[in-house]
Every structure is written in C-alpha cells, then in structure tokens.
Amino acid sequence: MSAVDLVQGLGTVAGLDAVSVEGATGLVDTNYEGKVSATLDILEKNDFALIHLEGPDEAGHIGDPDLKIEGIRRLDSLVVAPLVEAIMKYPEYVLFILPDHPTPLRLRTHTTNPVPFIALAAGVSLPETRAAAYCEKEAAATGISIHDGHTLLGRLLGGWL
C-alpha cells in the first residue's frame, strides 16, 4: 500500500493488489495506524504485504530536518513497533524494513548511495551484523553489502543475507 501512484503501479505490475487506506497522504501526516491495520488484515489472507511510507523522503526533498526526524519518529513508533510486536507472534512472518533510496537533506534529491536495512523474523537466526544503530554509517560498518538490490528479498527468504 502506498499513497504514491508510481509505487501502486509497480505493485500492480508485480501482481499485488493496491490497497487504499483512508488518510494515506504520502506525507508525514499520513495514516500510519491505518496502514498497519491494513497490513495485518492483508497478512491474514496473503503471504506478502508492502507498506510504502513517503513522509521522510518528502521532508528530505524540502530540506526540513525537523520534519524528517518527526517522520522517522512516527515510522518507528507507529509502524515498526506494532509490526514487530505482531510479527514476533507468527514465526512464518518476516519483517523487512528499508528505504527505497536515500534523500539527504543537504542535497534535497534522491541519491544512489547504499541504504541500510533491517530483517526480523521470529524463530529465524539471522547473521550477527554488529550494527550499533540503524543508519547508513553503521550499516556500512557491518560489511554486508548487497549490490543487486533485486536479489535482496530472495536472499532473505532463502535464509541468507
């Protein structure tokens, strides 16, 4: 689910159903709780759901550090926390968190730099990454680098990053 037409179109081309969530804006004020609720509903009937949140990216485009921090804070507390709680109850679920690209505040545009990602699954032993925090600098320090992004999900589901 996404408020962004491009992401909805990519999902449709990939064979996914586009799910509309009332109040999904593509901005920091989006309906986070509605997206989480819709995700959990989707996972009752399907084995895959994708949430695309655009707020921190849009804050990067306008160069507003406070808005970007607020978007990340809301993502963490209103999306990641409830999904982690839900995922840990179901060993067959995997939670995968990553941005689609960086949008540095100082550049105010997308870059092709590597992005950090988090993978979490109940009952699955993932490699120790040694990351002290979720950020580009700490992700680079792990030594894990996936150059072909299109292989990432398959590698995760196949048991190795």
pLDDT digits (tens, 9 = 90+) for 12-22: 999 999 999 99
**Nearest CA among 40, 42, 21, 43 for reference residue 32:** 21
With a cut of 90, say whether residue 156 has pLDDT above it: no
Residue 159 has pLDDT above 70, yes or no: no
Cα separation, 9 vs 119, whole angstroms: 25
Residue position matching structure tokens 């839900």? 86
The lowest-confidence range among 23-37, 48-62, 82-96 is: 82-96
Nearest by Cα to 98 from 75, 78, 130: 75
Q: Which residues contact 44 (CB under 8 A, 6 or more apart)?
A: none
Q: How far apart are CA 160 and CA 155, in angstroms?
A: 5
**DSSP assignment of 38-67:** HHHHHHHH-S-------HHHHHHHHT-HHH
Environment class of residue 139 by beta-carbon count within 10 Å: exposed (0-12), middle (13-18) or buried (19+)? buried
State the average pLDDT over residues 55-83. Answer: 95
Per CATH, is 5-157 categorized as 3.40.720.10? yes
* Each residue's pLDDT tens digit, 89-105: 877 788 888 998 999 99
Sketch the domain layout of the chain as residue ranges: 5-157
Residue whose entry in the numeric block shows the structure tokens 């909805």:
8
What is the reported pTM?
Answer: 0.86
